[in-house]
Amino acid sequence: MSKKCIRKGIIFIILAALLLIGHHSFAADLVLNNTPVRVCFSPGGDCTANIVQEIDAAKTEILVQAYSFTSAPIAKALLEAKKRGIHLTVILDKSQRSQKYTSARFMQNSGIPVYIDDAHALVHNKIITIDRSTVITGSFNFTKAAEEKNAENLLIIKSPALARIYTDNWVLHWQHSDSY
Give the residue numbers annotated as catalytic, written as ranges. 124, 126, 131
Closest CA to 50 of 136, 168, 158, 138: 136
Closest CA to 103 of 130, 132, 82: 82
Type of residue found at 34: N
Alpha carbon 177 to its chain centroid, in Å, reads 12
Strand order in the sheet with 87-93: 37-42, 152-158, 134-138, 126-130, 61-66, 87-93, 114-117, 178-179
HSE of 102, CA atoms in CB hemisphere, 13 A = 21
Give the C-alpha separation, 99 to 92, whole Å: 11
- Strand, helix or coil at 141? coil
Listed in order, strand segments (DSSP E) in 59-147 are 61-66, 87-93, 114-117, 126-130, 134-138
